[in-house]
Structure 1
Amino acid sequence: MAVEAFLSAGDVVQADHPAVRAAAARLRERHAGDAGFSQAAYEFVRDEVRHSFDVDDPRVTVTAAEVLEHRVGLCYAKSHLLAALLRAEGVPAGLCYQRLATTDGGFVLHGLVAVHLDGRWHRQDPRGNKPGVDARFSLDGPRLAFQIDPAAGECDYDAVFVTPDAGVLAALRATTDVLTLRAAGLPGELSGETVGS
């Protein structure tokens, strides 16, 4: 798939939403070059948008504009906002995922963003830091929140997607209290219903 597809706006990654475009333009004004802007957008989402589980906030946010307005969301929602901000300023960005083991022997998807700079994809994790989690913007190899353990069945999915995974969207849209998804309800595998590379 052509990199240009990763500049598109959609109903979730709302790169054309006025509030998203305005926020992206403000970040761009203060940071020169695509790499500087990308790092600023990443740090804005990582640090200024709280992770729902970290702050026990039950509000459900899915779209980029919702996340920007409420400044809270799960990793998936935060990724939707970051991808939208980057696309709004002409930096190709896609969604990608990890499969992580849970304490009950299952798995959960974790949402990431891939930014296309210098002719290649760079994975970024805007989840938000806390004790034991230290994700950072990096173009020299991933600095993600979680390191996978292949022996436990964990994996980094290689694909980069234009649109969010349908299973992720279904889980988010099926609840009125995002905190209920902490115990159950988050997908553990990709649904296969995404558009990507």
Structure 2
Amino acid sequence: MELTQQSPDIGAYLAVDEAIDHEHPRVVEAATRLAHGTDTAYARAAFEFVRDTIPHSADTGDPRVTWRASEVLAARTGICHAKSIALVALLRARSIPAGLCYQRLADDDGTNLMVHGLVALRLPGSRRWARVDPRGNKPGVDAQFSLEGERLAWVAREQFNEVDYPVVYAAPPEVILHALRSAQDRSELWRNLPEGL
């Protein structure tokens, strides 16, 4: 799939905003701790750090809702959208252009459509975006860092009206951000996440 930038300016994918607060000391400290070797090695380390050390709140039953990168790192919990925001912040903290991507996914029977958050990154010198999924692995989910062939948690199934959205967003879409910011707990968030973009 050909990914397209929401903003033509690559600088938008290095910017700080309310959610992607990569100038926050907590994000800077984590980025510094992970920074060893090449840009590729750092991007992989940041991906694995978010995927493996920040549990998905649905997997652990944690009711807390996080949405700002520094908050996700402090609380060590979040849903896919929060974890994606944290990874984007870590990448931008080391000047690696990164943005947010989305899939519309359904339960195994095709019901309960929901938007799933991913990350796209573009290593300096590269001409293409690569999508990665920091959601967190569990039985039946094996997302891996790959700049060539995608190794996402899920593949969109057309028969269930699932979709891979091709846009790389520089900031979280307002509909996602509103759901995250306004939810009192994860069960309320689940009810308010959009079914599509």
Normalised by the size of structure 2, how large is the TM-score? 0.91
Cα distance between partner residues in 2 of 1:164 and 1:24:
21
Letter in 2 for 1:92: P
CA RMSD of aligned residues (A): 1.2
Is 1:120 matched with 2:128? yes
- Aligned residue number for residue 3 of structure 2: none
Letter in 2 for 1:20: V
Is 1:169 matched with 2:177? yes
Q: Deviations 1:75-127 (Å, cap 9, x if unpaired)?
A: 00000000000000100000000001235724100000001022210000000
- Aligned residue number for residue 193 of structure 1: none
Is 1:145 matched with 2:153? yes
Listed as ranges, the matches of 1:40-119 within 5 Å are 40-102=45-107, 103=109, 105-117=111-123, 118-119=126-127
1:187 to 168, 191, 194: 194
Moved more, 101-110 or 51-60: 101-110
Letter in 2 for 1:44: F
2:16 to 4, 9, 17: 9
Letter in 1 for 2:9: A
Letter in 1 for 2:84: S
CA contact (8 A) 1:53 1:179 kept: no
Letter in 2 for 1:34: D
CA contact (8 A) 1:52 1:179 kept: no
- Aligned residue number for residue 5 of structure 2: none
Q: Percent identity?
A: 50
Unaligned stretches of 5+ in structure 1?
191-197
Letter in 2 for 1:15: H
- Aligned residue number for residue 30 of structure 2: 23
CA contact (8 A) 1:112 1:123 kept: yes
Q: Deviations 1:13-50 (Å, cap 9, x if unpaired)?
A: 1111111011101111xx21111000000000000001
Alpha-carbon offset, residue 173 of structure 1: 1.8
Cα distance between partner residues in 1 of 2:39 and 2:10:
15
CA contact (8 A) 2:31 2:94 kept: yes
Secondary structure at 2:168's aligned position in 1?
Answer: coil
Aligned pairs, number: 187
Secondary structure at 2:184's aligned position in 1?
Answer: coil
Is 1:134 matched with 2:139? no
Secondary structure at 2:129's aligned position in 1?
Answer: strand
Cα distance between partner residues in 1 of 2:174 and 2:188:
19
CA contact (8 A) 1:16 1:88 kept: yes
Letter in 1 for 2:33: R
Secondary structure at 1:140's aligned position in 2?
Answer: coil
Normalised by the size of structure 1, how large is the TM-score? 0.91
